[in-house]
Chain A
């Protein structure tokens, strides 16, 4: 079987100028269940799909409150996500201790990205296997960022990560033009529909998704299950004209192409690296 010579170490470059270990970490994000974020001028809504590991177990928590003004939704290794949320929480606490004011979202995101970056440049470390959607509010309004294991970060109007997130992205791309002036309720509705898109035909129920909101005059909080179910019930009654989830497979491939690299294809690591060699390095994502 083909063996990649350049992927045994985070700090080893491939001749094509890529760091495979880092890309594998980014693959971990795609394996995790989906997380979605979208924002208006005043609100950010985070949503995620909860998948239980087994019939006998409960699902893992994928949305974390960082502070009153910041929250995060994760996809990938939940354990790594918890470590990073704890780091973000302590940064927020330290900032408000010194300055008696909330930490600007963008700055927290840069600190977080720098932390992730260090792991891509030390032989004895491993990159974080988690992608974070950081939603928050500060002086300059509502923000949504995506933090990647590579240490890259991007600001988004709306974004989705994790498995079958392409379906949600497709939905969001079609709708994001109106998000800026959306009401809080519409934003939540769009979050729920985008979440449904990732479910591959499975019925959207409050038991398999979590929704969190932060906005002007509203501290970050996770909506309780009853509220979410009520919301689902109300919009599913009136909004059935929304197209059902598109077939998953083509969407996923389309996503891979968009991300500018063959590496995004699902499958074994060896496959990916083989395919990826021709592509542009997907480091930008």
Chain B
């Protein structure tokens, strides 16, 4: 039984030698965003999951980038924070020109796409799905980037479970002339469905609004829910062979 030293590494598994993200640790779940009459609305809950444990309950996942853009993230929260540091620097250097030009949502989205795609090319991905919305010069912008750099624009977008559960609702009910109130209502409808069906969603969310005028990110609040369905009280009744 002469174990060679190299073999000892197998005790901690082959991953010990890796310095890239192999899987996420603290994750945020879906982000949902829509265009509405005057700009963009974005919603995300505040849960931070540690695997399947709901570890953090006040994670802000909607952030303002520069003057014209709003960024929402799902996925690894530490990677999101690195992205934010990176963007802070980008915006700082942009402001330092002090020449009246500033990066709009389109530019930030393109930059983010390069960032995500570059990291995937290094096999060291930033483990996030990002939503970028904004308004500049009367132009509304809403786009998404995935962790491997897949990117697109649309009138409404959603990450993770939102893609399965929220977008069908949005496809049915979204239209170009949604007012702010209608937009919030629509997002809350999506978030409620996600809350019921996505185990990592928590009932504490923020909705952010960005228009030509500026940005407002709401205080955290919760949605009214109804759990009084008989199937919830006694979920297995009538299921044959169960107890």
Contacts and interface: CB of A to CB of B under 8 A. Distances in A.
In-complex A–B contact (CB below 8 Å)? yes
Interface of A: 97-101, 104, 106-107, 110, 138-140
B101 A139 contact: yes
Contact of A100 (B99, B100, B110, B137): B110
Given A99-B107, A100-B106, A139-B137, 4 more contacts: A101-B104, A107-B97, A107-B99, A107-B101
Contacts, number: 31
Contacts of B107: 99-101
9 contacts: A99-B103, A99-B106, A99-B107, A99-B111, A101-B104, A106-B101, A107-B97, A139-B100, A140-B101
B37 interface: no
B110 A99 contact: yes
A39 to B, nearest CB: 17
Nearest to B101: A104
Contacts of B114: 97-98
Interface string B80-111: 00000000000000000101110110110011
B110 A140 contact: no
Contacts of A99: 103, 106-107, 110-111
Contacts of A97: 114
Contacts of A100: 106-107, 110
Interface in B96-145: 97, 99-101, 103-104, 106-107, 110-111, 114, 137
Contacts of A107: 97, 99, 101
A177 to B, nearest CB: 24
Q: Point out which of A97, A99, A106, A107 has the most chain B C-beta atoms below 10 A from its C-beta.
A: A99
A98 to B, nearest CB: 6
B219 to A, nearest CB: 33
Nearest to B113: A100
Nearest to B107: A99
A104 B98 CA distance: 12
A147 B46 CA distance: 52
B110 A101 contact: yes
A140 B100 CA distance: 8
B195 to A, nearest CB: 36
Contacts of A140: 100-101
B101 A138 contact: yes
A101 B97 CA distance: 17
Nearest to B104: A101
Contacts of A104: 99, 101
A104 B107 CA distance: 13
B142 to A, nearest CB: 15
A104 B101 CA distance: 7
